[in-house]
């Protein structure tokens, strides 16, 4: 496990390492939304990136990081980083809808994506989440 410094170089190495480790480990992209939480044990990422959004900050540095920043074509909040030379595309990660299927995500699909994102949070954050099952059930219909 690497140790990262709470400065620009440390955050750059962290983003780059996470993108490469996630891609090499299971062939999937690293969700940028996990970065601030994942970096917490090394410092405060927001103090390093300033008042820019993490997406904008990584976008400005993606060439030096040797990563690609990609946004899902439908679920705009799903922003990922992958190694620059990877062949990842959102179209290859999910089945393409046929011509008679809706291209928009359903509430069920959005809920599943949300639950997957929650599942990647550290335990101390998970302990604070309380969503009534009846609400999840309604969203899954």
Look at residue 64 and give its three-state secondary structure.
Answer: helix
Q: How far apart, in Å, are the Cα atoms of 76 and each of 13, 73, 105, 139?
A: 25, 6, 11, 19
- Map residue 44 onto helix, strand or coil: coil
From edge to edge, which strands make up the β-sheet containing 30-31? 30-31, 79-83, 67-71
Q: Are 71 and 18 in contact (CB under 8 A)?
A: no
CA distance 114 to 109: 9
Its pTM surpasses 0.75? no
The residue ranges of every structural domain in the chain are: 1-94, 105-141
- Show pLDDT as tens, one digit a residue, over the chain (141 residues): 568 998 999 999 999 999 999 999 988 899 998 998 899 999 999 899 988 889 999 999 888 889 999 998 888 888 999 999 888 888 755 554 554 554 677 888 888 888 888 887 888 888 889 999 898 888 888
| Residues paired with residue 69 on neighbouring β-strands, in sequence order | 81
Q: What is the pLDDT of residue 138?
A: 86
CATH placement of domain 1-94:
3.30.420
């Amino acid at each position: 496990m690497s140790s990262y410094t709470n400065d620009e170089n440390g955050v750059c190495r962290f983003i780059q390492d996470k993108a490469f480790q996630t891609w090499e480990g299971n062939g999937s992209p690293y969700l940028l939304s996990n970065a601030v939480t994942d970096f917490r044990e090394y410092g405060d990422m927001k103090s390093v990136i300033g008042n820019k959004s993490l997406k904008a900050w990584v976008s400005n540095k993606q060439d030096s990081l040797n990563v690609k920043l990609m946004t899902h074509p439908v679920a705009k909040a799903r922003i990922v980083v992958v190694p620059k030379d990877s062949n990842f595309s959102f179209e290859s990660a999910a089945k393409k809808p046929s011509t008679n299927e809706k291209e928009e995500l359903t509430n069920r699909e959005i809920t599943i994506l949300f639950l997957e994102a929650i599942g990647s949070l550290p335990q101390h954050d998970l302990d604070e989440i309380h969503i009534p099952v009846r609400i999840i059930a309604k969203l899954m219909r």
